[in-house]
Amino acid sequence: MRLRNKVAVVTGGASGIGKAIAAAYVQEGARVVLVDIDERKGKDAAAEIGAEGEAVCLRADVTDSASVNQMAQEVDRRFGRIDILVNNVGVRITKPFLEHTDADWNIMIATNLTGPFFCARAVTPFMIRGGSGRIINTASIASFVGRPNRVAYVSAKSGLLGMTRALAIDLGGTGITVNAIAPGSINSPMNASQAADADHDWGKETPVGRWGTPEDIANAALFLALDASSYITGAELKVDGGWVSTKARAGELA
């Protein structure tokens, strides 16, 4: 029970990676707020993960600062503290560069970059009041390398690493650490079509030789949330089965 008495906010907690992180935190004794735009799915996920009071869902849209500020106030009102924020919401548009519309670009930046900024800004005063905190941003392998047909997603996820480093400095000395996790190919709803595509098996492109699971990411998010991680800040942890390090293709490993 390494997170006993902690209160965690996990955005995008209704699905995939966020849901797995929320479940891992509950298992370690935290009370967890799943923040999601899809309230129905969020409530179902909360009920699946923990008993009433261990996991709850609050609806908020991370692209809307008023909605995010209200969410943080509500978490503090209900639980009296906020110790951990996992900025995990993310959406991905995949299409050729010249087909990206203004709306495509704006939604990628608003959701994947501005949202984490709004959420961090909203919870930080409560963490400062408590004397410590953990902000964990879900970046991507697309934060490190260009990926085809994802110009807006790659731009936003690269920016999220910059924000991680800058916030680590600005919050230095407050007891709050700010780090990023960069998942590789994770078998979550976001990748449902690719995971089913035997001709383009991303798992085979990965040195470890398999797709990652949401639980692989949750293990890293647990580590960064612990008191024992207090000397780690401004860091990025790739959880990608080695994909970025080698850029290996099928057959090249032998």
Active site residues: 153
| Torsion angle, alpha carbons of 129, 133, 138, 143, to 10 | 90
- Only one of the segments 32-40, 126-134, 165-173, 224-232 lies at the binding site for ligand NAD (rule: CB under 6 A); that segment is 32-40
List, as one string, the DSSP characters of 69-125.
HHHHHHHHHHHS---EEEE---------GGG--HHHHHHHHIIIIIHHHHHHHHHHH
Candidate residues 26, 72, 186, 239; the one interacting with ligand NAD per rule CB under 6 A: 186
Q: Is 36 in the site for ligand NAD (CB under 6 A)?
A: yes
- Only one of the segments 47-55, 86-94, 96-104, 119-127 lies at the binding site for ligand NAD (rule: CB under 6 A); that segment is 86-94
Distance CA 138, CA 89 (A): 8
Looking at the Cβ atoms of 65 and 132, the one nearer to ligand NAD is 65
Q: Is 17 in the site for ligand NAD (CB under 6 A)?
A: yes
Distance CA 151, CA 237 (A): 22
Bridge-partner residues for 56, per DSSP?
33
Looking at the Cβ atoms of 110 and 128, the one nearer to ligand NAD is 110
Helix or strand or coil: residue 51?
coil
Which residues inside 213-252 make contact with ligand NAD, applying CB under 6 A?
none
Candidate residues 183, 216, 238, 241; the one interacting with ligand NAD per rule CB under 6 A: 183
Do 30 and 8 contact (CB within 8 A), yes or no? yes
Q: Is 185 in the site for ligand NAD (CB under 6 A)?
A: yes
- Only one of the segments 46-54, 82-90, 93-101, 220-228 lies at the binding site for ligand NAD (rule: CB under 6 A); that segment is 82-90
Q: Tell me the closest approach of the beta carbon of residue 229 to ligand NAD, in angstroms.
A: 20
Q: Is 12 in the site for ligand NAD (CB under 6 A)?
A: yes
Q: Which residues contact 170 (CB under 8 A, 6 or more apart)?
A: none
Q: Tell me the closest approach of the beta carbon of residue 62 to ligand NAD, in angstroms.
A: 4
The residue among 28, 54, 55, 73 whose CA lies nearest residue 221 is 28
Which residues inside 89-148 make contact with ligand NAD, applying CB under 6 A?
89-92, 111, 138, 140
Helix or strand or coil: residue 66?
helix
Q: Exposure pattern of 59-91 as b/e (b: 16+ CB <10 Å)? A: bbbbbbbebbbebbeebbeebeebbbbbbbbbe
Looking at the Cβ atoms of 50 and 241, the one nearer to ligand NAD is 241
Q: Is 189 in the site for ligand NAD (CB under 6 A)?
A: yes
Looking at the Cβ atoms of 61 and 83, the one nearer to ligand NAD is 61
Q: What are phi and psi of 59, to 5 degrees?
A: -80, 130
Binding footprint of ligand NAD on the chain (CB under 6 A):
11-12, 14-18, 36-38, 41, 61-63, 88-92, 111, 138, 140, 183, 185-186, 188-191
